A = this chain, B = another copy of it.
Amino acid sequence: MSARRAINLGLIGVGTVGSGVARILAEKHDVYARVLGCPLVLKSALVRDLAKPRPGLPPGHREILTSNPDDVLDDPDIEIIVEVWVGEHPAFEFISRALEAGKYVVTANKEVMAKHGSHLVALARERGVDILFEASVGGGIPIIAPLKRDLLANRVLALSAIINGTTNYILTAMTRDNADFADALRAAQGLGYAEADPSNDIEGEDARYKLAILASLAFRGQVRVEDIYREGITRLTARDFRYARELGYAIKLLALAREVEAGVQARVHPAFVPLDEPLAKVDGVLNAVQVEGDLSGKVLFQGRGAGSLPTTSAVIADVLDAAQSIIGGRRQVHAREESVTAIVPMSELRTRYYIRLTVADQPGVLAQIARILGEGNISISSVIQKEADEDAQTAELVIMTHLAKEASMLEAIRLLENLKPVQAIGSFIRVEHQ
């Protein structure tokens, strides 16, 4: 079909993922050449520090390393750039230069795609090329391409996802070991599942980037990172996990986006998930994304959301796709996605709530609490009184509500905090039925 002798790649970043990509391209050279009808050749690779040892790199690859971006980005023989640098800058500038030069770009960079995806896709279209980012969300799970292609006939009604492996590992450990957050985090750090500075993961920022990417595709208009409500997992306690299980729920860090009358809701926060729903069973470092389409119904995609090999699987799938576009002479056709999706303020949310309070163990307290909730139009679905502490003369109350408005709930929480017999609001967690 093609008289091409090879398609040359340039690699930007040779860390864990970059080395994995280089190694698999070398190991599977012949397989990929058969798929395409011509070989893929990794021609040069940009690193920050040429002197650093790179044990993961396959034999014979040291000579393609360079610390000069021009060697990769200005090489006219290179048609596809694989960007696996970390962080926003200078990755964004590298990608922009590559697209400007009419090169295809394959990226795993969720921060750049979350913040600049709309601009970069438009730039790629303008230059008649494409930017592919399957590896930016969900590691080896196909989810970007399914949203762009396979579910394109649908109007997406909702996305519900577990897309941060570190927090899911920690939450699974808290459930299994009845551990507190700090202990579970330390254990995860010891095993390499959490970084020394874990804040991006545990505060939900990583999940927010990924949700911005997914929701922008699903709702066909840019969902801005800063419009997504975000709450991390640091305040969860072993006690909440115990109550959750008793009540028939798991606790997960969910990334949710849903079409409602006034626009789209988009939020990342810990949530009670009913144990019989698929997302409740996504444990450890697994990731899962559930997409509800008006035609397809609910479709679940589940697998390993991180790691060098799963990410390499996604990166090379995009490389092969880009190479096929180059060989097939395809001009890119994109859905027009230049609008910004209006995100409904969090105060407008209607959901269910779990509240745990420590109260004075005396008559009439529940009546006072129920009155405050009732005045906010919040109806109670169940109350459990737990573990009276005889010394302190306190009791613990666990309240589950029916659907209520977030603004009313926050106001009720404020009033409850000021109620004399209420000593503390221990937790306040949204309950999400998909």
A: which residues have CB within 8 A of B? 1-2, 24, 28, 31-32, 34-37, 134, 139-142, 145-146, 149-155, 278, 281, 293-304, 307, 309-310, 312-317, 319-321, 324-325, 327-333, 335-336
Q: How far is the CA of A400 from the CA of B95 in the complex (A)?
A: 57
5 tightest Cβ-Cβ pairs between the two chains A and B: A142-B150, A140-B296, A153-B316, A330-B330, A295-B313
Q: How far is the CA of A134 from the CA of B146 in the complex (A)?
A: 12
Chain B residues lying within 8 Å of A316, measured Cβ to Cβ, are: 152-153, 295
- Closest residue of chain B to A299 (Cβ to Cβ) is B303
Given contacts A313-B154, A321-B149, contact A278 B302 (CB under 8 A): yes
Identify A295's interface contact among B281, B312, B320, CB under 8 A: B312
Chain B residues lying within 8 Å of A314, measured Cβ to Cβ, are: 150, 153, 296
Q: How far is the CA of A325 from the CA of B330 in the complex (A)?
A: 7
- Closest residue of chain B to A326 (Cβ to Cβ) is B333
**Listed residue (A31, A35, A296) with the most chain B CB atoms within 10 angstroms of its CB:** A296
Q: How far is the CA of A391 from the CA of B117 in the complex (A)?
A: 75
Chain B residues lying within 8 Å of A312, measured Cβ to Cβ, are: 153, 295
Chain B residues lying within 8 Å of A307, measured Cβ to Cβ, are: 297
Q: How far is the CB of A254 from chain B (nearest CB, A)?
A: 18
Chain B residues lying within 8 Å of A297, measured Cβ to Cβ, are: 140, 303-304, 307, 309-310
Q: Is A300 touching B299 in the complex (CB atoms < 8 A)?
A: no
- Closest residue of chain B to A34 (Cβ to Cβ) is B336
Q: Is B317 touching A328 in the complex (CB atoms < 8 A)?
A: no
Q: How far is the CA of A316 from the CA of B303 in the complex (A)?
A: 26
Q: How far is the CA of A34 from the CA of B34 in the complex (A)?
A: 36
Given contacts A142-B299, A145-B149, A152-B35, contact A327 B333 (CB under 8 A): yes
Q: List 19 A-B contacts (CB under 8 A).
A: A24-B295, A35-B152, A35-B335, A37-B333, A140-B295, A140-B296, A140-B299, A142-B142, A149-B320, A153-B313, A153-B319, A153-B320, A281-B281, A296-B314, A299-B301, A299-B302, A299-B304, A329-B329, A330-B331
Q: Is B24 touching A153 in the complex (CB atoms < 8 A)?
A: yes
Q: How far is the CA of A410 from the CA of B413 in the complex (A)?
A: 67
Q: Is B333 touching A324 in the complex (CB atoms < 8 A)?
A: yes
Chain B residues lying within 8 Å of A300, measured Cβ to Cβ, are: 300-303
Q: How far is the CA of A2 from the CA of B149 in the complex (A)?
A: 20
Identify A320's interface contact among B152, B278, B336, CB under 8 A: B152
Q: How far is the CB of A191 from chain B (nearest CB, A)?
A: 18
Q: How far is the CA of A294 from the CA of B313 in the complex (A)?
A: 9
Q: Is A313 touching B293 in the complex (CB atoms < 8 A)?
A: yes
Q: Is A328 touching B333 in the complex (CB atoms < 8 A)?
A: yes
Q: How far is the CA of A301 from the CA of B304 in the complex (A)?
A: 13
Chain B residues lying within 8 Å of A333, measured Cβ to Cβ, are: 1-2, 36-37, 324, 327-328
Q: How far is the CA of A134 from the CA of B299 in the complex (A)?
A: 14
* Given A145-B145, A153-B313, A296-B304: 8 more A-B contacts, CB < 8 Å: A142-B150, A149-B321, A151-B317, A278-B302, A299-B302, A327-B331, A329-B329, A330-B331
Identify A328's interface contact among B32, B35, B332, CB under 8 A: B332
Q: Is A302 touching B303 in the complex (CB atoms < 8 A)?
A: no
Chain B residues lying within 8 Å of A142, measured Cβ to Cβ, are: 142, 146, 149-151, 299
